[in-house]
């Protein structure tokens, strides 16, 4: 893999069977031209190694408000620009609001919740500790997956996940209407979802320098406390 094509302002990220090519530029023409040129070089390299990319599963997205951009081609096939794509389980939209991703999390959580309902419902014979274990080990990871990336989303989106968390905790504890959600979490000695996500984010960002990943290490540092960076991942550390 040492001879794989490289180009300025082009980042190639590989993970298992997933490949992402990220191009940067000041204008659509600039980054699309650079991207197309790189893809052509990559096609040549792939052919020499007898590797074939799946064109049907290839998608393209522009993280910008720009609507009209030249189409890129892969093996002569045009790859239309999408409003959102999924990469490593995270749905990325053009504005990086992560609204669609939050909705995907909700759907996945509700599906898993229904599968576990008979075990954690109010009439379940399982002990409270076992019910709680199902939530912490099986359900909560669905809510927090890759959260250091998307936790910078709007508070209204995060609130949708907190609703799911509170609903589950209340069912597990067989809580009455007058029991406060925060009091239940204190009694169970577990952090709120917001606190848990913040803990994951701190661990991730504090450990980036020690992660053996050149792409991550090339990400420039920025001050997440500044208002101009309020929509960037590190901003979660200052909320």
Give 224-237 as a 3 state SS string.
Answer: CCCHHHCCCHHHHH
Q: What is the pLDDT of residue 199?
A: 97
Q: Are residues 114 and 71 in the same domain?
A: no
Q: Please give the average per-residue pLDDT across 192-205, as a whole number.
A: 96
Residue-level pLDDT at 77: 96
Helix boundaries (H) for the chain = 28-48, 99-120, 128-134, 140-144, 147-150, 155-173, 181-188, 193-206, 214-217
- Is 101 in the same domain as 59? no
Rounded to a whole number, what is the distance in angstroms from the first to the last CA of the chain? 41
The per-residue pLDDT for 219 is: 80
Model confidence at 167, in pLDDT bands (50, 70, 90)?
very high
- With residues binned 3-state (H G I as helix, E B as strand, rest as coil), the percentages for the chain, rounded to 5, are 50, 15, 35
Q: Which of 52, 82, 112 is the last residue of a domain?
A: 82
- Domain holding 126, by residue range, is 97-238
Residues 25 and 112 in one domain: no
Tell me whether residue 140 is in a domain: yes
What's the pLDDT band for 1 if we cut at 50, 70, 90? Answer: low
Tell me the average pLDDT across 100-107: 98
CB-based contacts of 120: which residues, under 8 Å, 6+ apart?
126, 131, 134, 135, 168, 171, 172
Q: What is the overall mean pLDDT for the chain? A: 93
pLDDT of 27 over the 90 cut: no
Q: What is the pLDDT of residues 69-87, one digit of tens each?
A: 889 999 999 999 999 999 9
39 and 106, same domain (yes or no):
no
Boundary residue ending a domain (82, 117, 139)? 82
Question: Residue 92: what pLDDT?
Answer: 98
The answer on 61 and 114 residing in a single domain is no
Last residue of a domain, one of 50, 82, 114: 82
- 219 and 116, same structural domain? yes
Average confidence (pLDDT) over 211-224:
83
| 105/158 same-domain check | yes
Residue 216 has pLDDT above 90, yes or no: no
Confidence category of residue 2, pLDDT binned at 50, 70, 90: low
Provide mean pLDDT across the span 101-126. Answer: 97
* pTM score, whole prediction: 0.91
Domain count across the chain: 2
Residues 201, 117 share a domain: yes
Confidence at 220, pLDDT banded by 50, 70, 90: confident
* Range 125-131, long-range pairs (CB < 8 A, 24+ positions): 128/172, 128/173, 131/172
Cβ atoms of 69 and 31 within 8 Å: the answer is: no
Instruction: Answer yes or no: do 74 and 133 share one domain.
Output: no
Q: Residues 114-136: pLDDT tens digits? A: 999 999 999 999 999 999 999 99
In whole angstroms, what is the distance from residue 71 CA to residue 65 CA?
16
Per-residue confidence (pLDDT) for residue 66, from 0 to 100: 81
The answer to whether residues 142 and 223 belong to one domain is yes
Residue 2 is assigned to a structural domain of this protein: no
Confidence of residue 190 (pLDDT cuts 50, 70, 90): very high
pLDDT band at residue 144 under the 50/70/90 scheme: very high
* 4 is a domain residue: no
């Amino acid at each position: 893999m040492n001879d794989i094509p490289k180009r300025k302002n082009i980042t190639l990220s590989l993970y298992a069977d997933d490949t992402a090519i990220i191009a940067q530029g000041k204008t659509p023409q600039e980054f699309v031209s650079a991207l197309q040129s790189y893809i052509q070089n990559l096609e040549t390299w792939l052919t020499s190694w007898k590797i074939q990319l799946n064109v049907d599963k290839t998608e393209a997205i522009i993280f910008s408000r720009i609507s009209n951009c030249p189409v890129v081609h892969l093996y002569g096939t045009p790859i239309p620009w999408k409003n959102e794509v999924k990469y490593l389980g995270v749905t990325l939209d053009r504005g990086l609001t992560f609204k669609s991703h939050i909705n995907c999390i909700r759907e996945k959580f509700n599906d898993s919740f229904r599968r576990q309902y008979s075990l954690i419902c109010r009439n379940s014979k399982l002990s409270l500790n076992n019910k709680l274990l199902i939530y912490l080990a099986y359900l909560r990871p669905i809510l927090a997956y890759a959260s250091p990336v998307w936790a910078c989303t709007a508070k209204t989106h995060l609130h949708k996940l907190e609703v799911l968390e509170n609903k589950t905790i209340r069912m597990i504890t067989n809580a009455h209407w007058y029991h406060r959600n925060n009091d239940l979490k204190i009694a169970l000695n577990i952090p709120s979802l917001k606190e848990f996500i913040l803990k994951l984010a701190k661990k991730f960002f504090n450990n980036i320098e020690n992660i053996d990943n050149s792409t991550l290490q090339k990400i420039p540092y920025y001050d997440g406390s500044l208002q101009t960076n309020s929509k960037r991942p590190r901003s979660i550390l200052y909320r």
